[in-house]
Chain A
Amino acid sequence: MAIIYHDSWEMSEKGKKDAERHQRKVDDAIRKNVRDVIGEESIITKKGKKKIKIPIRGLKDYRFIYGDNEENGIGAGVGQGEGQPGDVIGKREKKSGDGKPGENEVGDDIIEAEVDIDYLLKIMFQDLGLPWIDEKTKTHQLVPKGWKFETISKKGIIPRIHKKKTMIEAVKRNVMYAAEIMNETECSEEDAYKSLNQSNGDINEAISIIKEGRLNGNEKTIIIEDEDLRFKQIERDVEYHSNAVVLAMMDVSGSMGRDKKYLCRSLLFWLVEFLKTCYDNVQIRFIQHTTEAKLVDEDTFFHKGESGGTKCSTAFELANYLIDTEYPVNEWNVYSVYVGDGEDWDTKTTINRMDEMIKKQINMLAYIEVDPDENDYGGSFRTLLNEIKTRWKFTTHRNTGTDFYRNDKRKLLMAVLKDKTHIWPCLQHILFQKRKDK
């Protein structure tokens, strides 16, 4: 029988390490739930940095346990305290939306992970990236990385003194002075240094000391003069990167109802957030169009709508103009993403403008059509997507109940977005290239 006390307990990392294992599982669970999370409207409508709560199932230890039974009622339990039948002992607010009945039983603790939107983006888009990216050689965009010590200068402040360089300068000068003294007086090297020390570095004085035989027993040392001092200079550190620009185009015409706008904005919101988080050096330009196209800022793009007729060709025209004037393809990786409902007054011109764009050999053109009402035009109305399909050939695949199209030769991608669960597969479709992480 004893009480034992050790002064130092070995710092154990075990708990922390296994907590990381758990965190990895949480991440996996988030990734699996991404389709639901990504459709959350509240994320897109809120501004500023945000944290979101994600309910995660599947992080429980499963065993055979007792559940509800008829006799006792649903979610029955035994508690303790004063209270009469009919008294409410507790309440819990339900999360709006997907509360599938029977799945959230009492004691079923759903772990709610609160994550930062940046973190979410990072784990969600782990394996995704802009496709067909090239190293453009002509010019590079400079990306500031921070500060670095680069050059050496004779002027500067004492804290940034470069000791080694200064020492080298001093030694060089001392050797030169000693040689001069030896030359002048024909004394030994040892004496030349000693005299220099005695004269406190003054070469003329040193020469006269030797000549006049005033040399006393001083040590041989190196004397540092002001002119030997060398300083480190700091400057901005820059990195060179390939240029990339994303031209985000969106239809804001009258035919774009609430649901359609929501789908368009959601998709572009996640695309833009992804680009901002995972690439430091991608420029994003925002184009809205009705019967004419406008270049707008991000806030307007995501939060303001217009109405009117629809001429998709104008957006492509403006994009083409931007490419010609600001983002020449020999310097820039150019990505165009168009999102709309497929209604167009002049599909022929639009397709011609798209063709022009493709011929400029941009890196990718994505055309996304939103169709939340499952094509209420019936068979008679031909949407832009159908027209494009007759113009170029695509390989298609169906996933989660909607269609994805791809033409590798022309670097043309298309998809149909019917509801919010398609946003995620659609993003995966556009960003299919594995990203090389910095």
Chain B
Amino acid sequence: MKKQEMQRLINVENKIYKIAQDFGLEFCPIEFDVIPEYKMLEIMAYHIPGNISNWKYGRDFERIRTIHEKIHDGLPYEVVINSSPARAYLMKSNTFAVQCLVMAHVVAHVAFFTMNKHFQRTKRDMIPFLSEASKRFNKYEELYGIDVVEKIVDAAHSIQMHSNPFDTETESEKRERIYEQEKRTIENKPTSEFADLHNFNDNKIDKETIKLHNRKLWMALKNKKPVEPTEDLLRFIIDNSNNLDDWEKDICEVLRQEGEYFWPQIRTKYCNEGFATYWHEKIMDILFKEEVLSTSDHAQYNYSNSLVKMRNPYQMNPYLIGSEMWKDIVERWDKGKHGLEYDNCNNLKEKEKWDTKEMKGHEKMFEVVRTHTDWFFMQNFLTADMVRKLDLYIYVKKETPYEETYVITKQDAEDIAKMIIASFGNHSIPKIEITDGNYEEKGELYLIHRWNKLNLKKEYCKKTMVHIYDLWGKPIHLKTKINNEKEITITYTGEKDKFYIGMSED
């Protein structure tokens, strides 16, 4: 790369930081690496540079490479790592305009990482952490064979997103807490979950009975694993498995932490990408206005930006939908189009022209950024108006013996908004909890899917249970529901392709 080009890039970089700061974006230092194409494709496939070896990354690499070689149409590629300093990548072959777009986009992502509360606990050293792990995993492969290692990696990958970063108590802390809580309840009235541990006959509760009950309570809690249902599946398996060797636990722990790193990113896809797109457009506008970029850059930028914001007939584009929603929020709070008075106004014309010159758009935006995930973002800001403005529709698949067609079914904005919001239920990741690690005293694992009107995908559910079995080594049970009918329990005992379905008695 020529010195001149480099200097131009650095100038724009500093300009972008300045503009972003003036708008009130807070962000930690960023390092950009200018890298060749193949490196970019590799980082995109592996998500994090230096990540561990696995066939899935190889498959994705091949897929990305093929698309890039055959049909790459100029869509800007971006990868940003939430570390400190944040690390991002610029593909060497990009045009200057695209480099600027990517830099502006990345700055906003880093601001999102810095400002949003869900990212505050994230590990900031994922790159060295994973590249160290990668070296260890390679050793394991030499020692135990690729297939054996991949089996554990695949299994841990399958459930790595099931954790709860807000659940930071240890088991013994939880036990203490529940004990204290139950103790207090029992002292007041004998109706708690654990009341039947002791026969409270004549409602006469003296000190002795309470003492006896509490001792029994403590013993019961001590034997209960987990002491209360846990969403952190890998954590529980690592701590309680009799099946895993230390090296296997190492793999599980590394991938659990990787899952934790991605946890907030997966749950903020729309608000994060929307935020970054909103800001790269704003920043680029200023760069053009100040003539830092030329008119020929402008054509390039327009083209690439239109690819980023392309409509997709089969799914929602988070860059487009997210950024349009942010624009809507900013406009509403700039013009005061919110609150009781506005909502109660029935005059459409008046509503249209509503403008209190409040100018609190960005203030509101930053307030939302600090606390929201996609789920809440959609609940609070995907209005029926938004659905209409974005031309969103619902389609279903219709099958004939010869073909499948996809047909639009619904266009009622209220219904569509409701359905979209529902699809973000539990942040788009089904809530699965381990409730018993010693089911029927046989050391079997019992999981419950907390059904929220959305069914689990059958084939995926079964294969994931096989993965869990590979880690736990004993039968796995999963309670779930289909279409609000009776609860069922699926059991996998390790026998190939055999699943037993039991109906719940109640």
The answer to whether A79 has its CB under 8 Å from any CB of chain B is: yes
Query: Quick check: B467 and A4 within 8 Å, CB to CB?
Result: no
Query: Quick check: B393 and A83 within 8 Å, CB to CB?
Result: yes
Query: Quick check: A15 and B45 within 8 Å, CB to CB?
Result: yes
Q: Mark A62-86, 1 if CB is under 8 A from B, else 0.
A: 1111111111111111111111111
Residues of B within 8 Å of A106, CB to CB, are 397, 406
Query: Quick check: A62 and B391 within 8 Å, CB to CB?
Result: no
Query: Quick check: A69 and B449 within 8 Å, CB to CB?
Result: no
Query: Quick check: A21 and B146 within 8 Å, CB to CB?
Result: yes
The answer to whether A59 has its CB under 8 Å from any CB of chain B is: yes
Query: Quick check: A89 and B9 within 8 Å, CB to CB?
Result: no
Query: Quick check: A77 and B315 within 8 Å, CB to CB?
Result: yes
The answer to whether B464 has its CB under 8 Å from any CB of chain A is: yes
Residues of B within 8 Å of A212, CB to CB, are none
Query: Quick check: A78 and B419 within 8 Å, CB to CB?
Result: yes
Query: Which residues of chain B from 386 to 400 have any CB-CB distance to chain A below 8 Å in the complex?
Result: 390-397, 399
Query: Quick check: A64 and B405 within 8 Å, CB to CB?
Result: no
The answer to whether A9 has its CB under 8 Å from any CB of chain B is: yes
Query: Quick check: B34 and A3 within 8 Å, CB to CB?
Result: yes
Given known pairs A18-B57, A64-B430, the reply for A89 and B407 (CB within 8 Å) is: yes
The answer to whether B238 has its CB under 8 Å from any CB of chain A is: no
Query: Quick check: B17 and A1 within 8 Å, CB to CB?
Result: yes
- Interface core residue of B313, B315, B390, B484 (most chain A CB under 10 Å): B313
Q: Measured between alpha carbons, how far is A355 from B39 in the docked complex, in Å?
A: 67
Kindly identify which residue among A4, A74, A91, A105 contacts B405, using a CB–CB cutoff of 8 Å: A91
Query: Quick check: A80 and B316 within 8 Å, CB to CB?
Result: yes
The answer to whether B151 has its CB under 8 Å from any CB of chain A is: no
Query: Quick check: A80 and B392 within 8 Å, CB to CB?
Result: yes
Q: Measured between alpha carbons, how far is A81 from B320 in the docked complex, in Å?
A: 12
Q: Measured between alpha carbons, how far is A78 from B418 in the docked complex, in Å?
A: 12
Query: Quick check: B406 and A90 within 8 Å, CB to CB?
Result: yes
Query: Quick check: B315 and A21 within 8 Å, CB to CB?
Result: no
Query: Which residues of chain A from 393 to 420 have any CB-CB distance to chain B below 8 Å in the complex?
Result: none
Query: Quick check: A62 and B62 within 8 Å, CB to CB?
Result: no
The answer to whether B311 has its CB under 8 Å from any CB of chain A is: yes
Q: Measured between alpha carbons, how far is A256 from B161 in the docked complex, in Å?
A: 59
The answer to whether A5 has its CB under 8 Å from any CB of chain B is: yes
Chain B contact residues, majority secondary structure? mixed
Q: Mark B443-474, 1 if CB is under 8 A from A, else 0.
A: 00000010001111111110110010000000
Q: Measured between alpha carbons, how far is A80 from B315 in the docked complex, in Å?
A: 7
How far apart are A366's CB and chain B's nearest CB, in angstroms?
A: 31
How far apart are B186's CB and chain A's nearest CB, in angstroms?
A: 37
Residues of A within 8 Å of B216, CB to CB, are none
Kindly identify which residue among B13, B146, B395, B484 contacts A3, using a CB–CB cutoff of 8 Å: B13
Residues of B within 8 Å of A77, CB to CB, are 314-315, 394-395, 406
Nearest A-chain residue to B7, judged by Cβ: A3
Residues of B within 8 Å of A64, CB to CB, are 159, 162, 429-430, 432, 449, 456, 460-461, 464
Query: Quick check: A3 and B403 within 8 Å, CB to CB?
Result: no
Query: Quick check: B13 and A1 within 8 Å, CB to CB?
Result: yes
The answer to whether B340 has its CB under 8 Å from any CB of chain A is: no
The answer to whether B56 has its CB under 8 Å from any CB of chain A is: yes
Query: Quick check: A21 and B54 within 8 Å, CB to CB?
Result: yes
Nearest A-chain residue to B428, judged by Cβ: A66
How far apart are B20's CB and chain A's nearest CB, in angstroms?
A: 11
How far apart are A337's CB and chain B's nearest CB, in angstroms?
A: 34
Name B residues whose Cβ lies closer than 8 Å to a Cβ of A. 1, 6, 9-10, 13-14, 17, 29-36, 38-39, 41-42, 45-46, 53-59, 61-62, 65, 85, 90, 146, 150, 154, 157-159, 161-162, 311-317, 320-321, 390-397, 399, 401-411, 416, 419-420, 423, 425, 428-430, 432, 449, 453-461, 463-464, 467, 483-484
Name A residues whose Cβ lies closer than 8 Å to a Cβ of B. 1-6, 9, 12, 14-25, 59-94, 102-103, 105-106, 108
